[in-house]
Amino acid sequence: MTTIHDPITLAGAKLPNRLVKAAMSEALCGRDGLPNAELIQLYKTWADSSMGMLITGNVMVDPAALGEPGNCVIEADTPLEPIKAWSAAAKSAGSACVVQISHPGKQAPKGLNKQTVGPSAVPFSKEMQAFFATPKELSVDEIAVLVERFADTAARCEAGGFDGVQIHGAHGYLVSAFLSPKHNIREDNYGGSIENRMRFLTEIVTAIRAKTEEGFVLGVKLNSADFQRGGFSEEDSTTVIQKLESMGVDFVEVSGGTYEAPAMTGVKSSTKAREAYFLEFAEKLRAQTKIKLMVTGGFRTQPAMDAALASGALDLIGVARPLAIEPDVADRWLEGKTPKHEIKPIKTHLPPVDNAGLLEIFWYAAQFKDMGQGKAPNPKLSPYKVLFHYVKGNIKAMIKGGKKKPSRLRAK
């Protein structure tokens, strides 16, 4: 039976075990968007944790389309030296490392970017409109430019020494929005049927393969469902995954939800007992695809991880938040021990803030900053302190917004 200790190969990358650090937004970069000393130190810390593979936080393909202040941005002409330093640190202890590449679409706080974009000009729900603006609908020419941006970013990551990239196609970001009939109401070749709605993603996959070498790992993070009425469904997800398998994608990470409908709320007790939030969907998928599957969300103990792997429903165990407060937790799992710290919801008890789904991102980002400075994480960090610093930092980013590098989102 497969256990977390067993090695596995993804394209040209050999993973020493089945534990994978899933993406979390680090928000450590400066205004230039380049990997810096803090980000490199953070990944050196995680490299020493015995994970089989590290997936970076979402790296943006456009400097004018950030998800949060401090996002890393990699473009076709980004200097290679800082990228190589980052990849070398991440791989220094034998882990593979792939870069999650992303575009936030409309899920960027008001004022951070000059304009947000999406497949269609569909606004957020009323309770979210105070935080997020209605996006501009992308033209076909602009879509083509973004496809090339994803491919350019992937090629630059390969040149910088990373083992591969993961396209962020989940959680309501731009690729996810194209896939969802709730957010994509286009009437051209990018809207309507699931075959059309997945076209943006499949064009990105094709473009990346054309600009990278054989053996470069290509993964996709995909929602099992949006958990919104009229949104991306499990049937849609299965169709997309089967298409990705036929295109030679190396692995799919199964997740779910959006900012408007976080998937981890209201989890059934039976799901909690098995720890993995999306394991049931993975079990359904396994009967219809042989692609390597990674499930992230909820795993906390080695016995539950081994049981999930032994079932054959998945190939990789994704974990995220435990590594933010206990960076060496993989060593404990591999030794059959339980984590030292329990993961708890980060709440301010201010409904507009908590419902926006952003506070936890910023709370964990504060932990990353401490680790990037060589400090230990603080599991007891006050969420109110984090909220204050976020509001202060975002106001500064908005003031400086007019001085940022302009977008090259225009038809070639």
Averaged pLDDT, 127-148: 95
Q: Quick one: pLDDT at residue 3?
A: 98
Confidence of residue 224 (pLDDT cuts 50, 70, 90): confident
**pLDDT greater than 70 at residue 105:** yes
Backbone angles phi, psi at 331, to 5 degrees: -60, -40
Q: Quick one: pLDDT at residue 269?
A: 44
Per-residue buried b or exposed e for 213-246, using 16+ beta carbons within 10 Å of the residue's own CB = eeebbbbbbbbbbbbbeebbbeebbbbbbebbbe
CA dist 187 and 191 (Å) reads 5
Tokens of 58: 């979402």
For 70-88, write each residue's pLDDT tens digit.
999 999 999 999 999 999 9
Residue 69 or residue 118, greater confidence: 118
Q: Choose the weakest-confidence range: 13-17, 111-115, 199-203, 341-345.
A: 341-345
Residue 203 or residue 341, greater confidence: 203
Averaged pLDDT, 135-155: 98
Q: Choose the weakest-confidence range: 87-101, 140-154, 172-186, 373-387.
A: 373-387
Confidence of residue 364 (pLDDT cuts 50, 70, 90): confident
Q: Quick one: pLDDT at residue 228?
A: 58
Averaged pLDDT, 362-373: 91
Vertex 107, ends 382 and 276: CA angle to 5°? 65
Question: What is the DSSP code (8-state) at residue 405?
Answer: P
Q: Choose the weakest-confidence range: 335-339, 373-377, 396-400, 407-411.
A: 407-411
Length of the chain: 412
Q: Quick one: pLDDT at residue 41?
A: 97
**pLDDT greater than 80 at residue 94:** yes
**pLDDT greater than 80 at residue 358:** no
**pLDDT greater than 90 at residue 383:** no
**pLDDT greater than 60 at residue 163:** yes
Residue 402 or residue 315, greater confidence: 315
Is-contact 361 367, C-beta < 8 A?
no
Q: Quick one: pLDDT at residue 277?
A: 74
Kindly report the average pLDDT of the chain as a whole number. Answer: 89
- 258: helix, strand or coil: strand
For 173-190, write each residue's pLDDT tens digit.
999 999 999 999 999 999
Q: Quick one: pLDDT at residue 12?
A: 96
**pLDDT greater than 50 at residue 233:** yes
**pLDDT greater than 60 at residue 327:** yes
Residue 268 or residue 17, greater confidence: 17
**pLDDT greater than 80 at residue 135:** yes
Beta bridge partners of 253: 221, 294
Q: Quick one: pLDDT at residue 115?
A: 96
For 243-296, write each residue's pLDDT tens digit.
999 999 999 999 875 555 555 444 444 444 445 678 889 999 999 999 999 998
Confidence of residue 347 (pLDDT cuts 50, 70, 90): confident
Q: Name the H helices within 4-116.
A: 37-47, 80-90
CA dist 278 and 203 (Å) reads 27
Q: Where are the domains of the chain?
A: 8-403
- 102: helix, strand or coil: strand
Question: Which homologous superfamily does the CATH classification assign to the domain defined by 8-403?
Answer: Aldolase class I (3.20.20.70)
pTM: 0.89
